[in-house]
A and B are shown apart, each in its own frame.
Chain A
Amino acid sequence: MSKVLMKGNEAVGAAAIKAGCKYFFGYPITPQNEIPEYMSKKLPEVGGEFVQAESEVAAINMVYGAAGSGARVMTSSSSPGMALKQEGISYLAGAELPAVIVNMMRGGPGLGGIQPAQSDYFMSVKGGGNGDYFMPVYAPASIQETVDLIQEAFDVADQYRTPVMVVADGMIGQMMEPVEFKEMPHRKLEDKTWSTDGTKEERKPNVINSLFLDAQDLEDHIIRLEEKYNLMEENECRWEEYKLEGAEIVIAAYGTTARIVKNAIDALEKDGIKVGLIRPITLWPFPKKAFDHIDSTTTNVLTVEMSRGQMIEDVRLALNGKLPTAFFGRTGGVIPTPAGVVEAVKKLVGGAK
């Protein structure tokens, strides 16, 4: 298939529909409005439905209803809206329902701003809703990767019966890039025999539920969920490595920040400073194994984020004290520049080892 030039947000919608998403429930918030706009236009054409909900809380609960009914369903929002969706995400996780949730992040806290940021890392990967749960979180760095990962996200959601989040900063949503809608390899998926479509009085009622009043029952349920999370940690970690071999400094960065970092790495190479990159593609499960691939030549790790430093905690856990870890980041919608990253690296080089 040939490439088409598309705005990130519209590509999200197109990828979802290609993946078989028939239902979308959302509420407007900048910088992701083109996603619901696109879905409102395109879903009726494929026999699906779009509802502009009265709030993000309602939207995610509509997702809960549709997911429990066996449909492929998606919602999207940006940071303050995603905060409201946390209630429903916890319910989706508790009731083991598959759905895809897209967050085009903007700066916060509070109403914050509308420029790109990566400050919802904690909220996404540490369980922003109540209770013991995790969900796969994908962080694409280009529109092409967004398109590929959205399609993958629907399969992963169905395979594990879990909500899946795709987080990108507002830049991905707003910029245009050529994309190709490839035929993705499909996973082997089981029929959704657990979903509600009426018993026809031929089977026992199906119940979609996250309530366990008996403490032992709830502990058993959570431990079963944990076994699923362990499987995902084993099988679903994804990351990209760039110029790790012989690197003196290794940078950890994700999403568009990682693209900026690559430019800095190439510039530093010309100055004779060897820097490598680990780019987590799944923020949860966090690709800890990638940090075992760091060369013995490396003296420091630098985490670069569009936040005041959130992923750095997972990087430190992955390194487990093996290497000193520094941080460079801009936030509030200010985008780090390659020059800023170069300067941060140069401070580390020849510094305390």
Chain B
Amino acid sequence: MAVVFKETKGLTDAKTHYCPGCTHGIVHRLVGEVLEELGVLGETIGVAPVGCSVLAYKYFNCDVHQAAHGRAPAVATGIKRVHPDKVVFTYQGDGDLASIGAAEIVHAAARGEKFTTIFINNAIYGMTGGQMAPTTLVGQKATTAPLGRDPKKVGMPMRMSEMLATLDGAKFVERATVHNPAGVRKTKAAIKKAFEMQINGEGFGIVEVLSTCPTNWGMTPVDSLKWLEENMIPYYPLGNIRTPEGGDK
């Protein structure tokens, strides 16, 4: 009988702690599958962030460093300089990457550090209980924006991928989503492409994945997927923003 679905060697047997319906788990699986398919699991060193995915070091079946909040790109820089022949990636949330670690991601990209960043944009701080993130949408409620994000007071949500794509060192930038099966397939292809480019020594790559946080959005998992589609995608357009083959838009 043909096997259509099986566990990936890219993840350990550990049970993840993510809330029901959280899309962190889907993205973990995609990263694991890609590393397995590329045959580089034994050559990979990951960097886990601070945020809901802080325990990613238990889930990825490769060597992993747990980093301070926002500093994963600096940690990855140190690792990659020591092991230029290894595959290095960071996995970061939007609070981690766009707020406290904004300088670290911008400068790693500017230097063209040859690692891959998986950026989970769920428009909120998950782990600390739903505070506003730099990516929180206008009008979206958060525990520190009880009346909804007011751009007059806190500015507009940041489009990190577009910002990073202005840097010459960022060779691959794509925004994807995991709110439906087609999106999941495209996300996987983007992750694979980013890793392949790292392996070919082409430079820094980032895949931003629009994700859900049913718990802190206060919605069911299904409603969350719908909310993502209807509210996040219009503000965070999907697609490739930059590839080396003249894909710059």
Measured between alpha carbons, how far is A205 from B46 in the docked complex, in Å?
A: 10
Q: Provide the residues of chain B in CB contact with A58, threshold 8 Å.
A: 71, 74, 77, 103-104, 107
A218 to chain B, nearest CB (A): 14
Q: Say whether A296 faces chain B, with CB atoms less than 8 Å apart.
A: no
Q: Say whether B79 faces chain A, with CB atoms less than 8 Å apart.
A: yes
Say yes or no: A197 contacts B77, CB within 8 Å. no
Q: Say whether A69 faces chain B, with CB atoms less than 8 Å apart.
A: yes
Q: A205-B62, A208-B66 are in contact. Are A66 and B82 (CB under 8 A)?
A: yes
Say yes or no: B79 contacts A198, CB within 8 Å. no
Q: Provide the residues of chain A in CB contact with B111, threshold 8 Å.
A: 51
Add 15 more A-B contacts to A197-B86, A206-B63 (CB < 8 A). Answer: A54-B104, A58-B104, A64-B65, A64-B78, A65-B78, A69-B45, A91-B67, A198-B63, A199-B41, A199-B61, A199-B63, A207-B57, A207-B64, A207-B65, A211-B54
Contact of B66 (CB < 8 Å), options: A57, A199, A209:
A209
A49 to chain B, nearest CB (A): 5
Q: A65-B74, A200-B42 are in contact. Are A88 and B64 (CB under 8 A)?
A: no
A339 to chain B, nearest CB (A): 47
Q: Provide the residues of chain B in CB contact with A95, threshold 8 Å.
A: 66
Say yes or no: A61 contacts B42, CB within 8 Å. no
Q: Say whether B75 faces chain A, with CB atoms less than 8 Å apart.
A: yes
Measured between alpha carbons, how far is A66 from B45 in the docked complex, in Å?
A: 12
Query: Residues on B close to A: CB < 8 A?
Result: 12, 41-45, 47, 54-55, 57-58, 60-68, 71, 74-83, 86, 103-104, 106-107, 111
A71 to chain B, nearest CB (A): 5
Q: Provide the residues of chain A in CB contact with B47, threshold 8 Å.
A: 65
Measured between alpha carbons, how far is A68 from B65 in the docked complex, in Å?
A: 8
Say yes or no: B83 contacts A198, CB within 8 Å. yes
A250 to chain B, nearest CB (A): 43
Q: A57-B71, A58-B107 are in contact. Are A51 and B81 (CB under 8 A)?
A: yes
Say yes or no: A53 contacts B79, CB within 8 Å. no
Q: Provide the residues of chain B in CB contact with A211, threshold 8 Å.
A: 54-55, 66
Q: Which A residues, 276 to 318, have Cβ-Cβ distances below 8 Å to chain B?
A: none
Say yes or no: B62 contacts A69, CB within 8 Å. no
Could you list some 5 contacts between A and B, CB below 8 A? Answer: A62-B81, A65-B76, A68-B78, A73-B82, A199-B63
Measured between alpha carbons, how far is A111 from B44 in the docked complex, in Å?
A: 41
Say yes or no: A65 contacts B65, CB within 8 Å. yes
Measured between alpha carbons, how far is A57 from B77 in the docked complex, in Å?
A: 13
Say yes or no: B43 contacts A87, CB within 8 Å. no
Q: 3 tightest A-B contacts by CB?
A: A65-B78, A61-B74, A196-B63
Contact of A196 (CB < 8 Å), options: B58, B65, B67:
B65
Say yes or no: A205 contacts B68, CB within 8 Å. no
Q: Provide the residues of chain A in CB contact with B103, threshold 8 Å.
A: 54-55, 57-58
Q: Provide the residues of chain B in CB contact with A197, threshold 8 Å.
A: 45, 63, 83, 86
Measured between alpha carbons, how far is A154 from B84 in the docked complex, in Å?
A: 23
Measured between alpha carbons, how far is A210 from B50 in the docked complex, in Å?
A: 12
A309 to chain B, nearest CB (A): 33
Q: For A57, A59, A71, which residue has the most chain B Cβ atoms within 10 angstroms?
A: A57
Q: Say whether A160 faces chain B, with CB atoms less than 8 Å apart.
A: no
A101 to chain B, nearest CB (A): 14
Q: Say whether A214 faces chain B, with CB atoms less than 8 Å apart.
A: no
Say yes or no: A61 contacts B67, CB within 8 Å. yes
Say yes or no: A198 contacts B86, CB within 8 Å. yes
Measured between alpha carbons, how far is A87 from B68 in the docked complex, in Å?
A: 8
A207 to chain B, nearest CB (A): 5
Q: A58-B107, A205-B61 are in contact. Are A65 and B68 (CB under 8 A)?
A: no
Say yes or no: B45 contacts A198, CB within 8 Å. yes
> What 1/0 flags go to A89-117 for Cβ under 8 Å of B?
00100010000000000000000000000
Measured between alpha carbons, how far is A66 from B76 in the docked complex, in Å?
A: 8
Q: Provide the residues of chain A in CB contact with B12, threshold 8 Å.
A: 205
Measured between alpha carbons, how far is A232 from B159 in the docked complex, in Å?
A: 49
Measured between alpha carbons, how far is A61 from B41 in the docked complex, in Å?
A: 24
Q: Provide the residues of chain B in CB contact with A199, threshold 8 Å.
A: 41-42, 61-63
Q: Provide the residues of chain B in CB contact with A121, threshold 8 Å.
A: none
Q: Provide the residues of chain A in CB contact with B60, threshold 8 Å.
A: 205
Q: Provide the residues of chain B in CB contact with A25, threshold 8 Å.
A: 77-78
Q: Say whether A201 faces chain B, with CB atoms less than 8 Å apart.
A: yes
Q: Provide the residues of chain B in CB contact with A65, threshold 8 Å.
A: 47, 65, 67, 74-80, 82
Q: Which A residues, 187 to 224, have Cβ-Cβ distances below 8 Å to chain B?
A: 196-202, 205-211
Say yes or no: B78 contacts A66, CB within 8 Å. yes
Say yes or no: A198 contacts B62, CB within 8 Å. yes
Measured between alpha carbons, how far is A69 from B46 in the docked complex, in Å?
A: 11
Q: Provide the residues of chain B in CB contact with A49, threshold 8 Å.
A: 81
Say yes or no: B63 contacts A205, CB within 8 Å. yes
Q: Provide the residues of chain B in CB contact with A205, threshold 8 Å.
A: 12, 60-64
Q: Provide the residues of chain B in CB contact with A67, threshold 8 Å.
A: 78
